[in-house]
Amino acid sequence: MEATQTQTQSAAPVTSIAQIGTRDGQEVTIRGWLYNLRESGKLLFPIFRDGTGTIQGVMPKSAVPAETFEGVKHLTQESAVVVTGKVRADKRAPGGYELDVSDVQIVQRVPEDDPFPISLKEHGVDFLMEHRHLWVRTPRQAAILRTRAEIIKAARDFFDDRGFTLTDPPILTPAACEGTTTLFPVDYFDEQAFLTQSGQLYIEATAMALGKVYSFGPTFRAEKSKTRRHLTEFWMVEPEVAYATLDDLMQLAEEFISFIVTRCLERRRADLQTIGRDTSKLENIKPPFPRITYDEAVEILNKGLAEGKLENKFQWGGDFGSPDETYISSQFDRPVMVHRYPAAVKAFYMEPDPKRPELALCVDVLAPEGYGEIIGGSQRMGSYELLLKRIHEHGLPESAFKWYLDLRKYGGVPHSGFGMGIERAVAWICGLEHVRETIPFPRMLHRLYP
């Protein structure tokens, strides 16, 4: 399995497969891997990939040296190769171009007695997850990862271009941010620490320093969730804005989501096609998004029950379950913003609605097509006294929140923010069945390898 040091002797310029259309008729070099090999008598059709795409090579036995032909004829899937050939437009080729191969240098040959495990046929989920480090090489997974990168870049561009400052919250924290979910404990020099479940409390502090801020980073939840929407380690982008109200926040959220979707349609359309996404469902993701109150959402559920489209009666005061969210979002053709939930089912730090104090000034954005909640946000509580009371009510240690309370003591202002789960956004935009495909190495209940 030794890797030979290959000197690319050819004068042909190294080109990416994605850019090969600009080199029609020219001699180029591609550095990549053998994706597949078909043959027909004295004619070989090796398909190469380089991370940007795939292209079929054509090799008649008569056109290349005998040793080159024999070397490629017995080449194994995923062997590393440096290929030189002439680009030729061909209507028969899926990408529009083929490569008339003149030379193939084998950088590393996969042994035939231990072949690449992921063949081109279908595989089961468990097998693919065990081989995630190799699964990411397949065209569909590569397209998803490129789209994830585009979504992250779009999110950061959106905030950077609007005067937000990126401020990174800590990952090791002394206490729960929200006090609700189970955290991963960490030994911190004989002190108890936890992996963060949200950067929100910390960016409230930096928002008071810088006005408009956001964070982008990993978060951790030790919940034993086993669904297509949950990971134990996932990435969130969280903006926080001083002086912003709930209405300001909802406007920000709809502009944010629209920007990201539009960007993906502009720049990753080919990848979305590879993934098999019906992009027509993304075309109308533009402001304004429907805004409904929690009360109106409950009415929708009750009506759905009366029409026999839902099974269980929904009691006012509870949080929506997954089937409830799916039904509510199915009534709209774009993300729906549900605001003003009962304070009792939401986190301790949310500002009460002055008109109805039993409600919180919060919003959940439910993605279409049953993808559920992709954004959760709120106007933050302003009153020092009420915040202290809520901390006690939730059984949280006051000492750990002293600094957070300080934010209300020293120049407290109305402020609002939300968090968007990157993986759920990727799953929705790519139209995936499960969030496990949205991140290079998903961490789930009982899955820590590879």
Partner RNA sequence: UCCUCAGUAGCUCAAUGGCAGAGCAUCCGGCUGUUAACCGGAGGGUUGUAGGUUCGAGUCCUACCUGAGGAGCCA
SS3 content of the chain, % helix, strand, coil (to 5): 35, 25, 40
Pick one of 92, 313, 355, 409: the residue that binds RNA (CB under 7 A).
Answer: 92
Cα distance between residue 323 and residue 265, in whole Å: 29
The token duo for 310 is 């839902």
40: amino acid identity, one letter: S
232: amino acid identity, one letter: T
Pick one of 2, 3, 5, 124: the residue that binds RNA (CB under 7 A).
Answer: 124
What is the DSSP code (8-state) at residue 20?
G
Of the pair 182, 267, the CB lying nearest RNA is at 182
The answer to whether residues 237 and 215 touch, using CB atoms and an 8 Å cutoff, is: yes
Pick one of 8, 14, 39, 209: the residue that binds RNA (CB under 7 A).
Answer: 39
CB of 131 to RNA, least distance (A): 9
- Of 3-11, 24-32, 126-134, 275-283, the window that binds RNA (rule: CB under 7 A) is 126-134
Helix axes 402-409, 200-210, angle to 10 degrees: 30
Q: Is 76 in the site for RNA (CB under 7 A)?
A: yes
Of the pair 167, 438, the CB lying nearest RNA is at 438
Of the pair 32, 376, the CB lying nearest RNA is at 376
Cα distance between residue 405 and residue 398, in whole Å: 9
User: Strand order in 172-173's β-sheet?
Assistant: 172-173, 191-195, 185-188
Q: Residue 426 in 3-state DSSP? A: helix
345: amino acid identity, one letter: V
> Which residues fall within 8 angstroms of residue 359, CB to CB, at 6 or more apart?
294, 340, 341, 342, 343, 352, 353
Of the pair 375, 407, the CB lying nearest RNA is at 375
A 10 A CB-CB count for 302 gives 14
Ramachandran class of 190: left when φ > 0, alpha when ψ lies in -120 to 50, beta otherwise: left
- Of 24-32, 184-192, 247-255, 418-426, the window that binds RNA (rule: CB under 7 A) is 418-426
The token duo for 58 is 């054509």
Peptide bond into 450 cis (omega under 30): yes
Please give the residues from 266 up to 285 whose contact with RNA meets the rule CB under 7 A: none
Cα distance between residue 380 and residue 394, in whole Å: 16
Alpha helices in 161-284 (DSSP H): 200-210, 246-267, 269-275, 280-283
Please give the residues from 420 up to 449 whose contact with RNA meets the rule CB under 7 A: 420-421, 423-424, 434-436, 444-447
Alpha helices in 365-431 (DSSP H): 384-393, 402-409, 422-430
The token duo for 49 is 């990939």
Please give the residues from 169 up to 208 whose contact with RNA meets the rule CB under 7 A: 178, 180-181, 198
CB of 360 to RNA, least distance (A): 12
Please give the residues from 209 up to 228 whose contact with RNA meets the rule CB under 7 A: 221, 223-228
Of the pair 354, 395, the CB lying nearest RNA is at 395
> Which residues fall within 8 angstroms of residue 220, CB to CB, at 6 or more apart?
183, 184, 195, 196, 197, 232, 233
- Of 14-22, 38-46, 301-309, 335-343, the window that binds RNA (rule: CB under 7 A) is 38-46
Of the pair 353, 364, the CB lying nearest RNA is at 364
Of the pair 204, 373, the CB lying nearest RNA is at 373
CB of 372 to RNA, least distance (A): 6
- Of 17-25, 202-210, 230-238, 261-269, the window that binds RNA (rule: CB under 7 A) is 230-238
Please give the residues from 46 up to 65 whose contact with RNA meets the rule CB under 7 A: 56, 58, 60-62
CB of 129 to RNA, least distance (A): 6
CB of 337 to RNA, least distance (A): 12
Pick one of 6, 10, 16, 36: the residue that binds RNA (CB under 7 A).
Answer: 36
Please give the residues from 300 up to 359 whose contact with RNA meets the rule CB under 7 A: 319, 321-323, 325, 345, 347
CB of 328 to RNA, least distance (A): 12
Please give the residues from 360 up to 379 whose contact with RNA meets the rule CB under 7 A: 372-376
Closest listed residue to residue 362, CA positions, set 285, 419, 412: 419
Pick one of 2, 67, 113, 191: the residue that binds RNA (CB under 7 A).
Answer: 113
Cα distance between residue 173 and residue 176, in whole Å: 7
Of the pair 241, 375, the CB lying nearest RNA is at 375
Instruction: Give the count of residues interacting with RNA (CB under 7 A).
Output: 76
Of the pair 22, 180, the CB lying nearest RNA is at 180
Pick one of 14, 89, 125, 306: the residue that binds RNA (CB under 7 A).
Answer: 125
Of the pair 280, 315, the CB lying nearest RNA is at 315
